[in-house]
Amino acid sequence: MRTYYCGELRSEHIGETVTLYGWVDRRRDHGGVIFLDVRDRSGIVQIVSDPERTPDSYHGAEALRSEYVVKITGRVTSRPEDSLNPKLPTGEVEIYADEIELLNAVRKQLPFQVATAENESVREDLRLKYRYLDLRRDRMSRNLQLRHQVVKAMRRHLEDVGGFIEVETPILTRSTPEGARDYLVPSRVNLGAWYALPQSPQLFKQLLMVSGVDRYYQIARCFRDEDLRADRQPEFTQLDMEMSFMSLEEVIELNEGLVSQIFQSVKGVELPRPFPRLTYAEAMDRYGSDKPDTRFGMELVDVSDLMKDSGFKVFSGAVAAGGIVKVLPIPGGNDAISNVRIKPGGDLFKEASEAGAKGLAYIRVRDNGEIDTIGAIKDNLTEAQKQELLDRTGAQSGHLLLFAAADATTVNKTLDRLRLFVGNELGSIDKDKMNLLWVTDFPMFEWNADEKRLEALHHPFTAPHPDDINDLKTARAQAYDLVLNGTEVGGGSLRIYQREVQEKVFEAIGLSTEEAYNKFGFLLDAFEYGTPPHGGIAYGLDRLVMLLAGEESIRDVIAFPKTQQAGCLLTNAPAGVDEKQLKELQVRSTYTPKS
Ligand code: ASP
């Protein structure tokens, strides 16, 4: 029987005889004595096998190789002074092995070294193909355990403090209102009909409020068939919550308690409360983003009013056409960023043009405080205008001011992108900070230029701000996002629970009552039977754990993730199916592979 996990042993265990199980991380032969690092999910401990003291265990140890599975029985002893390892939690002790039992050997060539010290540069495709080996690695094992701790903290807080109950909702269901592309599953029993996998449990959780569940949560799997990026997966996990009879302030307060509890239990960090808040309008104005990274300054400054009469046509023209001019002030940017990088062909120019900007104007404040402009700006700003720019942006010697002039969306997108790019490059972002921020008062709708109609920014069940109810098209929503270091980790809203309001919202997004009934009729019907005021939120669990783990990809905090091509390299999903299965479903593929 196991007496301890390997990583648990400390000097207080010296003198005990212990039984351990694990994998051989590494084996070293030191002039007759064999040292083994044995690993399990808790960490590593050093085993010593000495031919003179325990010849049987020595012969056992000789046969061992990396990743063999072993059972070790031996005595915990203190390490000699010169082999203490302060970097290892078990570094004060070693186990003198009495018995070493080989439980299973490795029969194939390992695709990569699993050993803790040697595994940082393994190619990701290999790691994903042999994910079971990859998950043995220290870093991945820690990530899985951290994820578990986060979920445990969530459950504990929601159940014990919040009085929430967990309810499961269907995976085989109908389309939900998040608006991404659905994954579809054909029905064999109802030929010709299809289930959609849920993009979120949104409709069911609202129905549960009609049922009087009052406080619901679920660690819910969600599916969205979208193009993938580093922080997206076709299936992902949300902490999904919904509650009745709570005001927006109460929802926010409850969630601050929850998030603080998570940080407290997995990071030991006390978050200052209340969390800071920005309205959507402020966030866009100051950062050009609805999920600003507030770990550093470099806030944007709107100078449209100053530039509307300037002789520089790019600026005055943009304002005349209904656009704006904004500045990104970069302290130290004068030295750090050369002209070639800002002009066509340069990396900053490339960033800007990928955001839709046609070019970047700039002003340098030289070290002696002299202002230097280039190109057309140079002769077209008066001294007074230059001075006013410096005052407004707080620019001092050494600053670089980057300008974008276009429609508001393009300007914000451009400068947001450049702010993050430059902030990273100049090391302005304190990576140890954990900045949480609520963004509130989102607009209800945004304009979908392709379809030439308004669409719900959150989803069409989001309640409008009570003050804006008479002009829905420009109304603010009672919606809130939680942002952590520039990443959206949660989002939710108070919901509409009155039929008249719901109908107006459908009308605003051009959904006829008939279409609305067709899609969401069951929910609208349920709303006729006594619906409590309610609201909720969902957190992206994968993203949250990624940030807490200090990882850059959500794949590193998911046990069996998919690639950017939405495939699983371990199982080779998705894959073809038997003709017989398709026949049963009466589904035929019209796909012809490109030659
Ligand atoms: N269902 C929403 C989402 O997945 C979250 C919510 O409104 O609670 O974004």
In the annotated binding site, the residues are 178, 224-226, 233, 458, 488, 495, 540-543
Cα–Cα distance, 240 to 236 (Å, whole number)? 12
On the question of pLDDT at 345 being above 90, the answer is yes
* 540 Cβ below 6 A of ligand 1: no
pLDDT level of residue 586 (50, 70, 90 thresholds): very high
Residue 199 in contact with residue 180, Cβ under 8 Å? yes
Q: Is 493's C-beta closer than 6 angstroms to any atom of ligand 1?
A: yes
Q: What is the pLDDT of residue 119?
A: 53
Confidence of residue 375 (pLDDT cuts 50, 70, 90): low
**What pLDDT sits at residue 118?**
55
DSSP 3-state of 214: coil
Reply yes or no on whether the pLDDT at 562 is more than 90.
yes
- Strands 17-30 and 43-49 turn out to be unpaired
| Residue 240: alpha-carbon gap to chain centroid | 15
Mutate to test the pocket of ligand 1, among 217, 221, 240 (most ligand atoms within 8 A of CB): 240
Out of 182, 202, 206, mutate this one to test ligand 1's pocket (max ligand atoms within 8 Å of CB): namely 202
Q: Of 212, 210, 222, 214, whose CA–CA distance to 169 is shortest? A: 222
| Protein residue with its CA nearest to atom 8 in ligand 1 | 537
Q: Does residue 579 surpass a pLDDT of 70?
A: yes
Range list of H helices, 394-489? 408-425
pLDDT, tens digit (0-9, with 9 covering 90-100), for 197-210: 999 999 999 999 99
Max mean pLDDT range (268-277, 389-398, 454-463): 268-277
Binding residues for ATP: 224-226, 233, 488, 540-543
Q: Does the pLDDT at position 412 exceed 70? A: yes
pLDDT band at residue 383 under the 50/70/90 scheme: confident
Contact 176 CB / ligand 1 (< 6 Å): no
How high is the pLDDT of residue 376? 64
Question: Is the C-beta atom of 536 inside 6 A of ligand 1?
Answer: yes
Q: Which atom of ligand 1 is nearest to the CA of 176?
A: 1
Question: What is the pLDDT at residue 466?
Answer: 93
Q: Which CATH superfamily is domain 125-163+186-269+532-584 in?
A: Bira Bifunctional Protein; Domain 2 (3.30.930.10)
Give the model's pLDDT for residue 382.
84
Mutation choice for ligand 1 from 182, 238, 489, CB with most ligand atoms inside 8 A:
238
Has domain 11-104 been given CATH number 2.40.50.140?
Answer: yes
Cβ(537) to ligand 1 under 6 A? Answer: yes
Secondary structure (DSSP) of 533-570: PEEEEEEEHHHHHHHHHT-S-GGGGSSS---TTS-BTT
Q: Which fold has domain 296-426?
A: Gyrase A; domain 2 (3.30.1360)
Q: How far is the C-alpha of 416 from the C-alpha of 356, rounded, in Å?
A: 12
181 touches 225 (CB < 8 A): yes
100-145, pLDDT tens digit by residue? Answer: 999 999 999 999 999 866 556 899 999 999 999 999 999 999 999 9
Kindly report the number of other CB atoms within 10 A of residue 172's CB atom. 11
- Given ligand 1 and candidates 459, 489, 539, which is best to mutate, with the most ligand atoms within 8 Å of its CB? 459
- At residue 85, the pLDDT reads 95
Mutate to test the pocket of ligand 1, among 169, 176, 197, 200 (most ligand atoms within 8 A of CB): 200
For ligand 1, what atom is nearest to the CA of residue 241?
A: 8
pLDDT, tens only, 447-482: 888 888 899 999 999 999 999 999 999 999 999 999
The domain limits of the chain are: 11-104, 125-163+186-269+532-584, 296-426
In whole angstroms, what is the distance from residue 401 CA to residue 403 CA?
7
Task: Give residue 480 CA to ligand 1 midpoint distance, Å.
Answer: 10
Q: Considering just the CA atoms, what is the radius of gyration of the chain in Å?
A: 30
- State what percent of residues in the chain have pLDDT above 90: 80
pLDDT of residue 117: 62
CA of 490 to the centre of ligand 1 (A): 8
User: 537: CA distance to ligand 1 center in Å?
Assistant: 6
The amino acid at residue 350 is K
What average pLDDT does range 561-589 have in this prediction?
Answer: 95
Residue 499: pLDDT over 90: no
Closest C-alpha to 422, from 356, 358, 546, 338: 338
Per the listing, tokens 């289930």 go with: 195
Q: Kindly report the average pLDDT of the chain as a whole number.
A: 93
Please state the rounded mean pLDDT for residues 489-509.
93
State the distance from the centre of ligand 1 to the C-alpha of 581, rounded, in angstroms: 35
For residue 346, report the distance from its CA to the centre of ligand 1, in Å.
40
Q: Hey, how many other C-beta atoms are within 10 angstroms of the C-beta on 447?
A: 13
Report, as an integer, the average pLDDT of 491-498.
Answer: 96
What pLDDT was estimated at residue 179?
A: 81
Please give the distance, rounded to the nearest whole angstrom, from the Cα atom of residue 538 to the centre of ligand 1: 5
pLDDT in tens, 236-255: 999 999 999 999 999 999 99
Q: What is the pLDDT of residues 161-205, one digit of tens each?
A: 999 999 999 999 988 777 889 999 999 999 999 999 999 999 999
Q: What per-residue confidence (pLDDT) applies to 321? A: 95
CA distance 28 to 37: 9
512-545 per-position pLDDT tens digit: 888 888 888 899 999 999 999 999 999 999 999 9
* Cβ neighbours, 10 Å, residue 595: 3
3-state SS assignment for residue 241:
strand
**pLDDT at residue 31 in the model:** 77
Q: Is 492 in the pocket of ligand 1 (CB under 6 A)?
A: yes
Residues 6+ apart with CB under 8 A from 508: 444, 445, 454, 472, 473
Could you tell me if the CB of 491 is within 6 A of ligand 1?
yes
> Phi and psi of 58, rounded to 5°?
-65, -45
Q: Is-contact 570 128, C-beta < 8 A? A: yes
Interval 340-355 mean pLDDT: 95
**Inter-residue contact 560 to 568 (CB < 8 Å):** yes
Nearest CA to ligand 1 atom 1: 202
- Indicate which residue's Cα is closest to atom 4 of ligand 1: 200
Q: How far apart are CA 505 and CA 472, in angstroms?
A: 7
Average pLDDT of span 494-507 = 92
CA dist 479 and 491 (Å) reads 8
Structure tokens at 148: 């578990």
Ligand 1 centroid, distance to 551 Cα (angstroms): 24
> If you average pLDDT over residues 366-374, what whole number do you get?
74
Q: Tell me how far the alpha carbon of residue 148 lies from the centroid of ligand 1, in angstroms.
A: 22
Ligand 1 atom with least separation from CA of 461: 7
Using the mean position of ligand 1's atoms as its centre, give its distance from the Cα of residue 561 in Å. Answer: 22
* Ligand 1 midpoint to CA 573 (Å): 28
CA 471 to ligand 1 center in whole angstroms: 24
Least confident of 71-75, 215-219, 227-231, 546-550: 227-231
Assigned token pair, 292: 């600003």
ipTM of the complex: 0.97
Average of per-residue pLDDT across 503-511: 90
Q: What is the DSSP letter of 400?
A: E
C-alpha–C-alpha distance, residues 568 and 572, integer Å:
5
